[in-house]
Amino acid sequence: MKLPIMFYQRLFKNSSLTIFLFLTTFINAQQNQQLTIYSSDKEQSVAVQKIMIDADYTFDEALRGSSIPSSVKNKLDLVSVKYYGFDGKLHQGQIIVNKEIANDIVDIFKVIEKIKFPVEKVVPIVEYNWSDEKSMNDNNTSSFNYRFISGSRILSMHANGLAIDINPKQNPYVKNGTSIPAGSEYKLKNMGTIEPDSKIVKVFKEKGWTWGGDWKSLKDYQHFQKIIK
């Protein structure tokens, strides 16, 4: 039997349309999955709010351009964290940390999210071309950066991913009356400020971390670190 050419044309047209619709639906579903979180508080899962994605790197992408020895790279992990931003919305970011403290960071960020302590952004420092200064000026929260302690040739605790800096603009590094980043000020009650008696300081200390806000010769209010034995 010979079918008229019109039949084939129509068949082709319809099936292309079907494939197109299928793909569109599939892609939309994938995107929504990434942007919507579900509450498990109730028995029925209900979409509760959109989540803002601040960083979406793979492990290798997040370390691109860093000249770290493989012995250091093997100690690192990329951790996803959630937090409420300065806009009051729920955000998801990423942080490169030492594997030894990855669980601490996950637990601490669960508290940060629960008490809604505002964190402006958490983005791997590769986004700032490995410049701590650029990252701080953008008020970015970060951990790993293969660098020396400012003004020295001693590797920082950040070089092993064993320290974290949170909201640098509200929690500056202060020495001899100079604040870094420039123009920043440590002022209690400002949004995102780490206060000495706060839950956030308490939860770090419970897990064996020290806080730069307790140091005497200088203050590094953004900085928490943990010595691994």
The residues binding Zn ion (CB under 5 A) are 163, 165, 223
DSSP assigned state of 88: S
Closest approach of Zn ion to the CB of residue 84, in Å: 22
Q: Could you tell me the smallest distance in angstroms from the CB atom of residue 190 to Zn ion?
A: 19
Phi/psi zone of residue 176: left (φ > 0), alpha (ψ -120 to 50 degrees), beta? left
Nearer to Zn ion, 219 or 223 (CB): 223
- Cα separation, 213 vs 229, in Å, equals 23
CA-wise closest residue to 165 among 206, 215, 121: 121
Residue whose Cβ sits closest to Zn ion: 223
How far is residue 21's CA from residue 14's CA, in Å, rounded to a whole number? 11
| Side chain identity at residue 119, one-letter code | V
Considering the complex, what minimum distance in angstroms separates the CB of residue 225 from Zn ion?
A: 7
CB of 164 to Zn ion, least distance (A): 7
Residue closer to Zn ion, measured from CB, 35 or 195: 195
**Which residue lies nearer to Zn ion by CB, 62 or 180?**
180
Compare residues 91 and 219 and give the one whose CB is closer to Zn ion.
219
Sign of the Cα torsion 158, 71, 209, 94 reads positive
